[in-house]
Amino acid sequence: MKKTSHRLADGREIIYYDLRDDVTREAVDHRPLPPAQAHSEIRHDPLLDDWVGVTAHRNVRTYHPPADECPLCPSREGRMSEIPEPGYDVAVFENRFPSFAGEPGLENAADAAPGEPGLFRNRPGAGRCEVVAFTADHNASFADLSEEQARLVLDVWTDRTAELARHPGVEQVYVFENRGEEIGVTLPHPHGQIYGYPFTTPRTARMLRSVADHAGISGQPGGDNLFDDLVARELADGERVVIDGEHWTAFVPYAAHWPYEVHLYPKPRVPDLLALDEPARAEFPGIYLELLRRFDRLFGTEEPRTPYIAAWHQAPFPKGRGRAGRTALREEFALHLELFTIRRAPGKLKFLAGSESGMNVFINDVPPEQAARRLREVAS
């Protein structure tokens, strides 16, 4: 893999990742863009103990452009895009409308009296948001990639995780792909995103608490590992296993939230993409591409390609107060990919309505065992 870094006209970084070492990337972005500016703030919700991003600048982001104006296609025939080169294997660039950007700053208490903790707290939304263009082919999908191309994307995800983890404002790196207008995708070109959050996300924090509680260790490493026990139980039951490879296992979880939801775990447990060994990296493309292609076959050829979200769950990279204890606990986390669709049947979507959105209580219309059986039936 060859990595080449340049700057776009407004100062944002763009990085090309190529399969061949002899490729040269020298194209210049000549667009008349003003310097990139993004103001992101995070505010603390004291009732839920959550941080919420406030990003007014994202209201003007690009929305459903026509195919001949796609910002993720290569720059060709005099039309300049976000990617100045006339072709590329994988391109990564800083999001023009990021949810998080900049360096960390001091936390503020908006309503605090002298000497009192503030109920309303906020601080700069430090971090970094990147776009990952998987291929120059506008009409392709991740499932159309070759295993060599999919392996390159895995290596890119790993490299970007390492880079963002070193950012002083980033505590968690989230790699994900949204596909399909039903999911809310505004650019159809095959791409994913990477968020460098300035905090540990609520879902990850909840997982870590469950891991600690399961082992009865109050946040200290040792004892039984919840992730290991969960995967072992799924393999022993077998009914919800979709693919069991030498280095990866994929299954529909016992309490799946979504109509068709698969969790993909490496063997053995590792905390993040950086810790994957070469055998796991080599096997991943074949298994992941097979899963994506099965998702596309779930509802037959009458339906458009299945909308989905693919989300990598990685251990956070603790910074600041309490770092030592949280760093020890991160080794108990298990890297895994969550792949799910909101389509529950041909022509029918699963909407997050009153119970899910109001109370965070999911109601799943498709039994997990039935979903796993269907995903085995549509194997290549």
Question: Nearest CA to 305 among 90, 144, 127?
Answer: 144
Q: Does 189 show up as a binding residue in the annotation? A: yes
Q: Does 129 show up as a binding residue in the annotation? A: no
Q: Are 248 and 280 in contact (CB under 8 A)?
A: yes
Say how far apart CA 248 and CA 331 lie, in whole Å: 19
Residue with tokens 């002083």: 168
Whether omega for the bond prior to residue 316 falls within 30 degrees of 0, making it cis, is no
Residue with tokens 């430090």: 126
Question: Nearest CA to 200 among 327, 290, 293, 310?
Answer: 327
Q: Are 33 and 71 in contact (CB under 8 A)?
A: no
Our CA dihedral for 59, 338, 159, 204, rounded to 10 degrees, sits at 80
Kind and range of the H or E element at 207? helix 202-215
Residue with tokens 């992730």: 227
Which residues are designated catalytic? Answer: 191
Q: Does 138 show up as a binding residue in the annotation? A: yes
Residues belonging to the binding site for Zn(2+) are 70, 73, 138, 189
Residues belonging to the binding site are 70, 73, 138, 189
